[in-house]
A and B are shown apart, each in its own frame.
Chain A
Amino acid sequence: MMRIGILVLACGALWAQQFKFNLDHLAAKAREAVDLSLSKDLLQLGAKFLSSKDPDEAKVRALINGLEGIYVKSFEFDREGAWNQSDLDQVKNQLKTPEWSRIVGVRSAEDNENVEVHVRRESGKVTGVAILATGPREFTVVNIVGNVDLESLAAMGGQFGIPKLRQGVPKKREP
């Protein structure tokens, strides 16, 4: 019974997710890995616990309002060549449908990192965003389901700085 429940939940998560990430094999090679599957219910629950007094949390609360889900897989490796081009291709191939369009791609000569942003549009409305960030020792895929304000999110990223990846669920922040 419990297995059926888990299967139903997993199917629900995959249904909400707009493209599949079969990247579990990279987790074993990674020094640090983040795997987040935030459905609408979890986003709403998390939003209730975001403080309106904390400026960062208040901005995040406004940003996630109306989103259907956020799915993140991010890996950092000790050595180069831990991921293959086929890992990236299996994600990119799913973004070749007419709904998806690549809006920007930036390659950093400094750290040889490549970041691409794809947007999904349905009936003229933005319904999803895919962010692919790859570097010699990094592989990150993000799918934000829903209409998200990219400028605000980017501005917030500047405030947060480069995030430190942690294994699994993050620990509670020190007061």
Chain B
Amino acid sequence: MDWLEEELRNALARKEPSPDFDGRVATATRHKANVVMMTRRWIAAAAAVILVIGAGEGYRWRRGEAAKEQVMLAMKIAGGKLHRVQRGVAEIRQ
């Protein structure tokens, strides 16, 4: 069994990491953190763009509705007065 013990001892013996191990771990961690940060920034930017477009559309809609109401009111006033003229002329003709 000596050969087996010898094999095990060799396999489980303490091994020192390579000299650039710390650096490689730190680089990999930084890369992951960068990817997460970039993703978050892109999501925030996309949300901001959607918000700006939505607010712009909302403003345009409100302005359009207000313009529509004003057009309808202007036509009601002008039409009402002209109708009164038309009615007056019709009464005179009778």
Contact = CB atoms under 8 A, between A and B. Distances in A.
Interface of A: 34, 36, 38, 42-43, 45-50, 56-57, 60, 63-64, 70, 72, 74, 104, 106-108, 113, 115, 117, 131, 133, 140, 142, 144, 150, 153-158, 160-163, 165-166, 169-173
B80 A46 contact: no
Given A104-B85, A131-B78, A46 B73 contact: no
A170 B73 contact: yes
A160 B74 contact: no
Interface string B56-94: 000000011111111111111111111111111100100
Given A34-B77, A45-B64, A104-B89, A70 B83 contact: no
Dominant secondary structure at the B interface: helix
Contact of A131 (B66, B67, B72, B81): B81
Nearest to A45: B67
A36 B73 contact: yes
Interface of B: 63-89, 92
Nearest to A162: B80
A72 B67 CA distance: 14
A95 to B, nearest CB: 15
A38 B82 contact: no
Nearest to B82: A154
B75 A153 contact: yes
A163 B75 CA distance: 10
A156 B84 contact: no
B84 A108 contact: yes
A contact patch SS: mixed
A63 B79 CA distance: 11
A157 B80 contact: yes
A38 B84 contact: no
Contact of B64 (A49, A150, A166): A49
A170 B80 CA distance: 17
Nearest to A116: B85
Given A34-B77, A163-B76, A153 B82 contact: yes
Q: Most chain-A Cβ atoms within 10 A of its Cβ — which of B67, B75, B76, B86?
A: B75
B84 to A, nearest CB: 6
A108 B81 CA distance: 12
Nearest to A165: B77
A115 B73 contact: no
Contact of B70 (A74, A117, A170): A170
